């Protein structure tokens, strides 16, 4: 049935309602004539009694029918910029993000609805038809925070105004969908992944499990990570440095073994890299610190303002709610014996044998090791400090530290920290 204003004029409506008020028409007759129910009838009656002379159901448009020319120009400018980014194959952007365009326009005081932007995009040739995808049920597979931490790195050219490729390392809690860690690095190394885990655990505690892909930083895979024709070690029989840290601190590690599973690790941060690249292009950013500021702003918006499409909750609120309810698997960061400092946990490890001169050889450096019998194996902890360009070396034997020395990092040019 058509709406009332399309079936009755304003004057006809007034006659019917006036008749009811004067007692010449009963309610059921008016409802049957208008084709409405009791609730709708009393809503119209209330509106009529407020001002019978000005009563009208004619739709009054609150906003202008056409956008200002300035808004049209801003919208076209953003769409053409978006198109240029997609056509640049060196950037990690392949699709249009009309929501990001809307958010940027709002920041400049231009309020435009998403359907309007999409309509203009189609007319300007800035639209990609959406291919039909397989049904995919996005769901939270965990029941508490820290039950699963999705850890990943994205290595891309983040701004069209720089040639360097930087690594974005992220750790996302599967239950709350909050990014517990996110930062940029000039290079992706084992050490930056260890520092990312240390920062997360200092802030929130020790999680139950990490979920990562099969990158060699996290996992040894036979045939890919061995140069020998006859393989001695099978897959997972060698522990990479990052995995050793997880074993010592008591954190389980699960690997993505299929393309679909690997997509689960990468998908949560795809929106983040998408928005960062667009902002860097728009603001012509060229330094890592400038891009870090964009990352911080986007993460804050995501944590505190965006309702997640899967959980239907704001990530920060969902995490705090779970904490208050005791729905958390985070453990306090307690160091296992015999360690007393976190740097002996979150470090790089090497094994060396003490020679006949009570020294060990480490990357062409002879380091004295007192109070250790000859031909005994010691564990060497390497703690690089890239800001101060120093490398601290701590040597352990039989659960006690026997030597600690510090060198300039530049004396170890063959080691990449």
Question: What does the pLDDT read at residue 4?
Answer: 81
Question: Which residue has better confidence, 374 or 235?
Answer: 374
123-132 confidence digits (pLDDT tens) = 999 998 877 6
Average pLDDT, the chain: 86
Position 259 scores a pLDDT of 56
* Concatenated DSSP letters of 167-235: EEEEEEETTT--EEEEEEESS--HHHHHHHHHHHHHHT-B-SEEEE---TTT---TTTS---SS--SPT
| Mean pLDDT, range 382-404, rounded to an integer | 94
DSSP assignment of 111-147 equals ---HHHHHHHHHHTT---PPPP----------SSBTS
φ/ψ (deg, to 5) at 306: -90, 130
Q: Could you give the CA distance from residue 125 to residue 326 in angstroms, rounded to a whole number? A: 52
Q: Residue 230 above 60 pLDDT? A: no
| pLDDT exceeds 90 at position 2 | no
Work out the average pLDDT over 255-266: 61
Q: Is a pLDDT exceeding 90 seen at residue 256?
A: no
Give the pLDDT band of residue 229 (cuts 50, 70, 90). Answer: very low
pLDDT at 134: 59
**From the CB of residue 412, how many other CB atoms can be counted at a distance below 10 Å?**
18
Q: How far apart, in whole angstroms, are the C-alpha atoms of residue 225 and residue 227?
A: 7
> Which range (144-148, 160-164, 204-208, 314-318) has the least confidence?
160-164
Task: Tell me what pLDDT residue 220 has.
Answer: 56
pLDDT at 93 (0 to 100): 80
Q: What is the pLDDT of residue 88?
A: 84
The per-residue pLDDT for 202 is 96
Give residue 140's pLDDT.
56
Q: What is the CATH topology of the domain spanning 149-324?
A: Nucleotidyltransferase; domain 5 (3.30.420)
Rounded to an integer, what distance in angstroms lies between the CA atom of residue 178 and that of residue 272?
12
Share of the chain above pLDDT 70, in %: 87
Each residue's pLDDT tens digit, 313-337: 999 999 999 999 999 999 999 999 9
Q: What is the mean pLDDT of residues 277-304?
A: 92
pLDDT (0 to 100) of residue 51: 87
Q: Which of 373, 330, 381, 374 is nearest to 355 (CA)?
A: 374
pLDDT (0 to 100) of residue 239: 81
Confidence of residue 376 (pLDDT cuts 50, 70, 90): very high
Distance in angstroms between the alpha carbons of the first and the last residue of the chain = 72
Comparing 238 with 377, the larger pLDDT belongs to 377
CA 96 to chain centre: 19
How would you classify the pairing of strands 209-212 and 252-255? parallel
pLDDT at 375: 94
Paired with 366 in beta bridges are: 361
pLDDT at 279 over 80: yes
Of 208-212, 227-231, 354-358, give the lowest mean pLDDT range.
227-231
pLDDT attached to residue 248: 94
pLDDT of 54: 82
Q: How many contiguous H segments (helices) and E segments (strands) does the chain have?
A: 13, 11
Say what the pLDDT of residue 232 is: 47
Q: 147 near 251, Cβ under 8 Å?
A: no
Whether the predicted pLDDT of 69 surpasses 60: yes
Domain ranges of the chain: 4-50, 69-123, 149-324, 342-411
Share of the chain above pLDDT 90, in %: 48
Mean pLDDT within 111-116: 91
Residue among 260, 253, 255 at smallest CA distance from 138? 260
């Amino acid at each position: 049935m058509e709406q009332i204003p399309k079936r009755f004029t304003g004057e006809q409506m007034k006659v019917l309602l006036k008749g009811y008020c004067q007692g010449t028409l009963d309610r059921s007759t008016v409802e049957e004539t208008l084709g409405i129910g009791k609730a709708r009838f009393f809503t119209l009656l209330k509106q009529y009694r407020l001002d019978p002379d000005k009563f009208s159901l004619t739709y009054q448009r609150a906003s202008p029918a056409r956008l200002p020319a300035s808004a049209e120009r801003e919208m076209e400018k953003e769409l053409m910029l978006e198109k240029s980014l997609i056509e640049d194959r060196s950037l990690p952007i392949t699709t249009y993000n009309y929501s990001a365009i809307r958010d940027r326009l709002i920041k400049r005081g231009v309020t435009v609805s998403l359907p309007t932007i999409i309509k203009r995009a189609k007319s300007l040739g800035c639209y990609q038809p959406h291919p039909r995808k397989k049904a995919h049920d996005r769901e939270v597979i965990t029941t508490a925070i820290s039950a699963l931490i999705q850890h990943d790195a994205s290595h891309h050219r983040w701004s069209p105004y720089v040639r360097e490729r930087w690594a974005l390392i992220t750790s996302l809690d599967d239950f709350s969908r909050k990014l517990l860690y996110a930062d940029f690095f000039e290079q992706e190394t084992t050490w930056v992944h260890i520092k990312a885990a240390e920062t997360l655990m200092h802030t929130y505690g020790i999680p139950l499990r990490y979920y990562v892909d099969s990158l060699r930083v996290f996992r040894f895979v036979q045939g890919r990570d061995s140069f020998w024709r006859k393989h001695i070690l099978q897959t997972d029989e060698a522990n990479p440095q990052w995995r050793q840290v997880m074993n010592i601190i008591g954190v389980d590690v699960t690997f993505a073994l299929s393309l679909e599973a690997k997509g689960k690790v990468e998908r949560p941060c795809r929106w983040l890299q998408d928005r960062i690249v667009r902002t860097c292009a728009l603001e012509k950013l060229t330094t890592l610190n400038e891009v870090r500021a964009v990352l911080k702003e986007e993460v804050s918006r995501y944590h505190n303002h965006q309702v997640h499409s899967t959980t239907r909750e704001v990530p920060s609120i969902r995490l705090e709610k779970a904490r208050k309810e005791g729905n958390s698997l985070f453990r306090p960061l307690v160091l296992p014996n015999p360690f007393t400092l976190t740097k002996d946990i979150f470090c790089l490890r090497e094994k060396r044998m003490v020679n006949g001169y009570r020294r060990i050889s480490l990357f062409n450096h002879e380091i004295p090791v007192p109070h250790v019998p000859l031909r005994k194996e010691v564990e060497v902890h390497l703690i690089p400090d890239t800001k101060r360009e120093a490398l601290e070396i701590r040597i352990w034997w039989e659960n006690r530290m026997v030597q600690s020395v510090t060198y300039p990092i530049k004396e170890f040019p063959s080691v990449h920290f």
